[in-house]
Amino acid sequence: MRQAYLLLRLRFSPLPRGNFASEDIFATLALFFVTRFFIRTIVWKFSHRLPPGPNGWPILGALPLLGRSPHVTLARMANKYGPIMYLKLGSKGLVVASKPEAARAFLKALDLNFSNRARDAGAVHMAYDVQDMVFADYGPRWRLMRKQSNLHMLGGKALEDWSHVRREEVGHMLRAMLRCGEQGEPVVVSDMLAYVMGNMISRVILSKRIFKTKSKDSDEFRSMVVELMITAGYFNVGDYLPCIAWMDIQGIERGMKKLHKRFDTLLTKLMEEHRTTSHERHNPDFLDVLMADSTNGGEDALTMANIKGLLLNLFTAGSDAPSSMIEWSLAEMLNKPSILKRAQEEMDRVIGRERRLEESDLKNLPYLRAICIESFRKHPPTPLNLPRISKEPCVVDGYYIPKDTKLSVNIWAIGRDPEVWEDPLEFIPERFLTEKYKMMDPRGNDFELLPFGSGRRMCAGTRMGILVSEYIPGSLVHMFDWKLPDGTHELNMDETFGLALQKTVPLTAFVAPRLSI
């Protein structure tokens, strides 16, 4: 009360002619420092204003709000909180971009600041302690893995060099499906795709087919890949509350360790067999190149963990993401027979029925390509992209983003945004034949369409993903007539969330040949 009285006295009393009394000096200084503190606090809060977002629960934050389909939940939240949201997940922060402009701000303007991945349980337990290409820190060793992958497997020249491998392996798959049709058995599309993609990749990496025929081995490989992609997409409580991570409340880390051991056993076996057959190869394959690099020494040379991690990336993400995209494309066509019929008519007109579709035909099949791009839009392989993490604090659209904040770009939400797309929930390939959309490209430059992400950490297999997502479904649609099982009038199109967006109920159908060959 005394201080308040003195402040009022200072404000309204005439100045004394002599020196200030000691209490007046104290009151003046107190007023100065209090005012300065409040002004600095207000300025700091304004300049460090976090994006809006849900309040969440005590301790757990927004974790319980995400549910089984975080990409859908976050899309709904964005309708309330805006294109840039901030969520507190346990003790960690997550910023979510849900509009093309927001994605551009993070992935283009701030790409370098968000060029690393978070060191989560999945990266530690399943990616050789963050030593693979997907999760490794941005730096010399990561660049070397990316460079070697592009040079020998995923780049434009490399894809041309092993086009004969894709043709031969698709031929093996078509024959396996033809036998199913002759025997009156339904085709489980996801299993067939695991068979063909596994062999495509293994022939480039190991100079051998890992699956001689469509069998239990390829089915088990498929189940392992799907399990990894789903498990790695879990929101693990221990990642967001490190103080209780050791408890593994959800049992996620135990499952990760078991699955990693199975994959490591498989990779070790393949690599040992590869060493014993080195004298049989006339030309080095991709694994030979990687092993040679590891023995050259040098500070940034690849380690055995790097090589195994890279092989794991190529065999899992390299097979599952394309398989998922192809299965969704076929499912949409079977749900809308008019789309399937138009695609077949286009191929009959361009190719005829006397030969198979070739990759060189794709440039002359605009409707088939439109189907594939529409599938990228509606069913992106990674619905939330792979989370990145901020190296330094930054400001985006006036909002403060602290250091070590995770970033998720909701690609699924952007692809279904009614402000960007007309009738976004409908599968309409024709939209990509119109002036408005036909110039959109899925290679990371159009932020309305980001199936493979964008920037430094976009998917290394973008070229291969686009190519096989056109070539394989085109081959299947051209080669066969398709029929759903009796009693099935419309396919179940439910999604299972993970790093890749799986079809909950695998696509199963009967096929019959439609070509004269």
pLDDT tens track for 440-452: 999 999 999 999 9
* pLDDT at residue 192 in the model: 94
SS3 416: coil
* pLDDT at residue 516 in the model: 82
Distant-in-sequence, close-in-space partners of 329: CB < 8 Å, separation ≥ 6: 371, 372, 375, 469, 473
Between CA 74 and CA 387 the distance in angstroms is 14
Mean pLDDT of 137-154: 95
The predicted-structure confidence for 227-269, as pLDDT tens digits, reads as follows 998 888 889 999 999 999 999 999 999 999 999 999 999 999 9
Contact 456, 112 (CB under 8 A): yes
Whether the per-residue pLDDT at 41 is higher than 50: the answer is: no
The strand ranges marked E within 59-142 are: 84-89, 92-97, 116-117
* pLDDT at residue 5 in the model: 45
In 3D space, the residue among 225, 97, 230, 224 whose CA is nearest the CA of residue 497 turns out to be: 230
Mean pLDDT of 203-214: 89
* pLDDT at residue 297 in the model: 67
* pLDDT at residue 10 in the model: 43
The predicted-structure confidence for 334-352, as pLDDT tens digits, reads as follows 999 999 999 999 999 999 9
The secondary element (H helix, E strand) that includes residue 406 is strand 406-409
Lowest mean pLDDT among 17-31, 120-134, 194-208, 284-298: 17-31
Whether the per-residue pLDDT at 109 is higher than 70: the answer is: yes
Whether the per-residue pLDDT at 6 is higher than 50: the answer is: no
The secondary element (H helix, E strand) that includes residue 324 is helix 304-335
pLDDT range class, residue 25, cuts 50, 70, 90: confident
Query: 114 or 229: whose pLDDT is higher?
Result: 114
* pLDDT at residue 239 in the model: 94
- Look up residue 314 and give its amino acid: L
What pTM was computed for the model? 0.88
Whether the per-residue pLDDT at 299 is higher than 70: the answer is: yes
SS3 84: strand
Question: Angle 185-188-194 (CA atoms, 0-180°, nearest 5)?
Answer: 135
* pLDDT at residue 37 in the model: 54
Whether the per-residue pLDDT at 46 is higher than 60: the answer is: no
Whether the per-residue pLDDT at 285 is higher than 80: the answer is: yes
Query: 28 or 472: whose pLDDT is higher?
Result: 472
Mean pLDDT of 35-50: 59
* pLDDT at residue 401 in the model: 97
Biggest alpha carbon–alpha carbon distance for the chain:
113
Between CA 56 and CA 235 the distance in angstroms is 15
Lowest mean pLDDT among 309-323, 342-356, 364-378: 309-323
SS3 481: strand
Query: 198 or 9: whose pLDDT is higher?
Result: 198
Between CA 491 and CA 495 the distance in angstroms is 12
* pLDDT at residue 366 in the model: 97
- H-type alpha helices, 360-416: 366-378, 411-415
Pairing of strands 116-117, 388-389: antiparallel
Q: Read off the tokens for 274.
A: 């590869």
In 3D space, the residue among 53, 79, 86 whose CA is nearest the CA of residue 417 turns out to be: 79
Q: Read off the tokens for 421.
A: 């797309």
* pLDDT at residue 184 in the model: 95
Contact 493, 503 (CB under 8 A): yes
The predicted-structure confidence for 386-403, as pLDDT tens digits, reads as follows 999 999 999 999 999 999
Question: Angle 197-502-89 (CA atoms, 0-180°, nearest 5)?
Answer: 125
Between CA 370 and CA 56 the distance in angstroms is 41
SS3 509: strand
Mean pLDDT of 50-75: 95
In 3D space, the residue among 412, 70, 65 whose CA is nearest the CA of residue 230 turns out to be: 70
Question: Angle 196-200-205 (CA atoms, 0-180°, nearest 5)?
Answer: 145
pLDDT range class, residue 301, cuts 50, 70, 90: confident
Contact 138, 456 (CB under 8 A): yes
Whether the per-residue pLDDT at 492 is higher than 60: the answer is: yes
Contact 402, 393 (CB under 8 A): yes
pLDDT range class, residue 21, cuts 50, 70, 90: low
Q: What percent of the chain has a predicted confidence (pLDDT) above 90?
A: 78
* pLDDT at residue 488 in the model: 83
Cα four-point dihedral sign 356, 360, 365, 368? positive
* pLDDT at residue 22 in the model: 64
Distant-in-sequence, close-in-space partners of 96: CB < 8 Å, separation ≥ 6: 74, 77, 78, 84, 85, 86, 87, 407, 408, 409, 410
Whether the per-residue pLDDT at 36 is higher than 70: the answer is: no
27-31, 196-200, 231-235 — most confident range: 196-200
178-182, 219-223, 291-295, 487-491 — most confident range: 178-182
Whether the per-residue pLDDT at 300 is higher than 90: the answer is: no
* pLDDT at residue 130 in the model: 94
**Buried b / exposed e along 470-485 (16+ C-beta atoms within 10 A):** bbbbbbbbbbbebebe
Mean pLDDT of 191-207: 94
Q: What is the DSSP letter of 127?
A: T
Between CA 489 and CA 494 the distance in angstroms is 15
Phi, psi of 399 (to 5 degrees): -100, 145
Lowest mean pLDDT among 158-167, 288-297, 330-339, 401-410: 288-297
Whether the per-residue pLDDT at 169 is higher than 90: the answer is: yes
In 3D space, the residue among 356, 331, 327 whose CA is nearest the CA of residue 468 turns out to be: 327
Question: Angle 345-346-348 (CA atoms, 0-180°, nearest 5)?
Answer: 60
Contact 142, 300 (CB under 8 A): no
Q: What is the mean pLDDT of the chain?
A: 90
The predicted-structure confidence for 412-455, as pLDDT tens digits, reads as follows 999 999 999 999 999 999 999 999 998 899 999 999 999 999 99
- H-type alpha helices, 382-434: 411-415
In 3D space, the residue among 476, 460, 367, 403 whose CA is nearest the CA of residue 135 turns out to be: 460
